[in-house]
Chain A
Amino acid sequence: MSIVPQDDPEPVAIESTAPPNRQPTVSSAPSATTTGTRGRRHQALMRLRGDIPRSVHLGLAALGVLVLLGGWALLATSMGSESFLLPTPAEAWAAGVDLYRSGDLMADLSASGRRIAIGYGISIVIGVAFGVLIGSFRSAAAFVEPQVALLRYIPASALTPLFLLWLGIDEAPKIALIVVGTVFYNILMVADVARAVPKELVNASYTLGAGRLTILRRVLLPYSWPGIIDVARVNLAAAWLMLVVAELLAAQQGLAFRVVRAQRFRQVDTMFALLIVFAAIGLVSDLALRALRNRTAPWSEGSR
């Protein structure tokens, strides 16, 4: 659509003196006939990186879960004579309810949860302490980083026999395994978070009269906080992995122990119920950490 003055049906005197390419100073309605369209229209839902309404978002999420469950149910009912190998969702649910009624589920959940809480808690504390040091002081990085890089490549699960030998078969080796299996990742990832604190922010703090300890405590740590929560979120999966390794080997209680026990009695439906419990715990803890981040660091880029 062009608005060149010459095309105007009613040119006024002032326009004739205006340069040919300039829009008239006295504006008149542009020609109102549509002769075509320009640009390509996109489907709202499939626009690259486009926003979608929240209702659509939730609907699609629910649909995704339903598709997963439906596929499972379809597969399970088509197993025929081998159907005991793959229970239907309803059978798994029933087995889960039974497990809950017997009291075993809650006992296992609390045993496993306790191990994760202690083991991963220790790992996070060590990870934050060393990570922030490495990320803040070049000297600390030079000293600690090669050690961590080296130790990180020892598969933690390979240490299980050693821990059993050293620490017995009670809680200690299980907690140790969770710590060792996650702490190096926590250290290195927290170090990256601490390194990402802008140098200008540290410099500004110095010029405001802050000492090193003050900057560490009151600038580096708060700035790194949302990043630390993200690290904790990512590595929590590894903590559960190590828990399973520990409980498979020696335990009288715990979710993974219960899976092994169910296998021994060929209770595949119970095994599936337990797997869903694992998935649910992961989902809930992920959402909880995300909520914590949004709550405690609303200023941060990834929060909202």
Chain B
Amino acid sequence: MTGVIVEAVTKSFRAGRGVDPLVALDGVDMHIDAGELVSIVGVSGCGKTTLLNIVGGLETATAGQIRIDGDLIVGPGPDRGMVFQGYSLFPWKSVTQNIAFGLECARWPKARRQGRIDELLGVTGLTEFAGHRPDQLSGGMRQRVAIARALAPEPDVLLLDEPFGSLDAQTKRVMQDFLLSVQARTSATILLVTHDVSEAIYLSQRVYVMASRPGRVLEEIAVPFGSVRGPAVLRDARFLDLREEIEELLHAPSPLASSSSEQAIPAQAAPPLPPPVPL
């Protein structure tokens, strides 16, 4: 298996009569090898979600192409499981029924289906909640269902669009470790879109840094921790250096952001606590 190859993908939108078309992606080249976890980081509006949707087949490229194991991508398919920020679970279906949807579409025989569902419930720690509806679950659990649902039909690639973006910091960390454990167990090929630089370094083997207007790849950065992933990474001194390097790349056009490392904190990081005041 050769993995995913993104070749010179360009996407432009017509902005209106007499206005130059909006170039969302301009000649993007990427590759994701089999079994690799690769992240795309970029500020909002850099076209990273558009790129992911093109890989998923939900949008079409204006120019360029995407191949997976030599096959050209022309539309969506169960070989590329997708997970969205908003979970997008079927609200009327139970956890089991949500996971089963892709298997039913692929006409898995019933006996095999149940085995696969049980396996995924186990992997995602949702066995006790098999009969619950999404509205009865927490955000982190919902996203675990979404990941299990996407994994169910055994996709070649898992595409994650800001999957932990709406979770609180603690749940986010748990989910990141969960994703790593899923990859360790299933050796899935994963492409993750995020605006969280720490998350990208924490999780991936390689990081593509994208710039906006037009959306393009600024740099491809190999995360030097080898097979060591997860919490150990945070204690590595190179983690902070790498984060700073990527932050500077992201904020390069703005002189303010690159002047000091203090200002290069990710946008979503919590603001420093105000000094304590008397109640």
Contact = CB atoms under 8 A, between A and B. Distances in A.
Interface of A: 1-4, 21-23, 198, 200-201, 203-211, 214, 218-219, 222-223, 225, 297-300
Given A219-B90, A223-B92, A299-B133, A207 B279 contact: no
Contact of A21 (B78, B106, B278): B278
Contact of A204 (B84, B133, B134): B84
Given A198-B86, A297-B92, A300-B91, A209 B77 contact: yes
For the residues of B in contact with A, the DSSP-based class is loop
Interface residues of B, number: 35
Contact of B101 (A1, A200, A208, A223): A208
Nearest to B134: A299
Contacts of B81: 207-208
A206 B92 contact: no
B19 to A, nearest CB: 23
Nearest to A215: B105
Interface string B51-89: 001001110000000000000000111101110101010
B255 to A, nearest CB: 36
A223 B91 contact: yes
Given A21-B275, A204-B82, A207-B80, A198 B105 contact: no
B276 interface: yes
B142 interface: no
Contacts, number: 85
Interface string B83-126: 01010101110000000011001100000000000000000000
22 contacts: A21-B278, A22-B276, A198-B88, A200-B84, A203-B53, A203-B82, A204-B88, A206-B57, A206-B75, A207-B56, A207-B58, A207-B81, A208-B101, A208-B149, A208-B152, A209-B78, A209-B106, A210-B101, A210-B105, A218-B101, A219-B90, A222-B90
B153 interface: yes
Given A21-B275, A299-B92, 9 more contacts: A3-B279, A23-B276, A198-B86, A200-B88, A206-B58, A207-B78, A208-B81, A210-B101, A297-B92
B133 A203 contact: no
A33 to B, nearest CB: 16
Contacts of B102: 208-209
Contact of B90 (A201, A206, A207, A211): A201
